[in-house]
Structure 1
Amino acid sequence: MAAKSQKVGGKGSKSALSNPSQGKGDPKNKKKVTLEGDDETDEKEGSLAYKVLSEDQCKTLLGQDVVEMQSTLCDIFKLHNYPTDLRDAGVLDYYTGACWWGKEQGFTPQQLSGFFTVVHTLLDNVKEQHMAMVDNLKEFKKMLIGIDPEYQEIKSAGLDFFNTQQAKALTNYITSCLFQHYKLYELMFTQTQAEEIIGTDLEIETAKPASVPFPPPLDEGVTQETFASYIATPPPTPEPEVEEEDKGMEELDAKLDTDIFSELTVEDVREVIESVAKELLNPLQSEIAAKLREKENILIGRINKVHKVADEGSP
């Protein structure tokens, strides 16, 4: 259409130069140019491409990675509060995901712009108009009119630069990323985010105000009396004195602990050992003797039974 309009314009300019009066007075030529210009304007306005994102912006986005793409979209739509604002964060994530998906699909700048117009319009219906999901689905359906080549006689809604396969992929993406989470987006745009105020108490030590133009004196500038009374470290507390009796007892205990065994003779040690052995072995000896007597009585009883049986058996 643009090339055709330029051709018509060129003819009009040529006729005007050859016959100025004819160029000015021929209403048919003038009407023809106006009508073709209106067709071009209508075609441009009817397309959904470059409604939200310009061609240069789409080219820039297609050449960026996901981090750069998010930063660019943040600048375009003024979503700089996304670190603290839930709505800005949700919208920026929604736009970034859509642009990145379009780049993965290999969209041209025109296709990316048209696709983003659809994405932006549907989200704006939720955000600004609070449109129900059924009504928003109808709006999405209207945007897809004219893509199928079987319905070329129907006026296109502005996405005729997509083919049928791309339209199906576009529909699946918008269904999964928007309509499946529609209640969540409605809640995000209708409820007020709770504000959290976080405070921290800081204690700052400031210098004391100087009453004189000199700082407080150092140790060397203080008198000996003041230094000894308030600054110097006090001497260690003296240990209490031990009385002489206590000293004597301690010496005796120490002497007993160290020299008591050195004064014992061999006989003394033998007597101590024998007395201890008697105390420990006497109960054992009596117990063993009692058991031996019991065994002896049992054996004697058995021997007597044997003799008795033998006596009874003899004639």
Structure 2
Amino acid sequence: MKNHLVCLKEASVLDYYVSGFWWAKESSFSPEQIQAFMSLLQILMENLRTKRMTIADNLRELAAAMKEVSRSEADENDGPELFSLDESTCIIDFLKGSLFQHYKLYEFVFIHSRDDLFLRFQENIDVDLFINSLHAHPLEEGLSQDMYSLFIDVGTPEQPEEETLPEEQKFDYVIETPTRDPLEGFTVEDVKQVLQNITGSVVKNLQSEINKKLQQQEEDYLARLEKVIRS
């Protein structure tokens, strides 16, 4: 796996095997047990990568493999099994939290193809013509006169002359906006009628809200009285 630094698939497989190997070392497995455990990891990973097994089928493969390499306390001296019942339980817990918990992610990495992304950068280069520039001008003796006059000595742009108006045409424009009274056209009676309508609607809403609150309080008091009478 020489491309694990840039290839996601190789990095995932390498992390899977390294984490499993160090877990077996920390679990104080013997060299024979580590070899059997790494073979088990390889079987499960290849079932996913090449055979594209579902998680249910791969769990069945795990159960069959663990049945061959584990032993119970009653059969401890009967066969060449490598793992005890407690060790087999620890192995199953490790695989459940590492491979099978992230099974969908492994399927996405190894089975589904990813889109290739092409990154492109566009750069704009501006040529400094040394007009009002803070950069130092190049040495004239380093260039021929033709090159200097063609690319560098562009001269200063001519400023357009301002048109001068005669004195009689120089005057300020003053626009007067007429001011109008917003109450123009309304009588005192009209204003009183509007205020009366607004006040009446507000008072009506307040009265309705107060009646609702009084009715709610009355219902609460009646409910309390019934509870007291029943008790």
**TM-score, normalization by structure 1:** 0.37
Largest Rg, 1 or 2: 1
Structure number with higher helix proportion: 1
**TM-score, normalization by structure 2:** 0.49
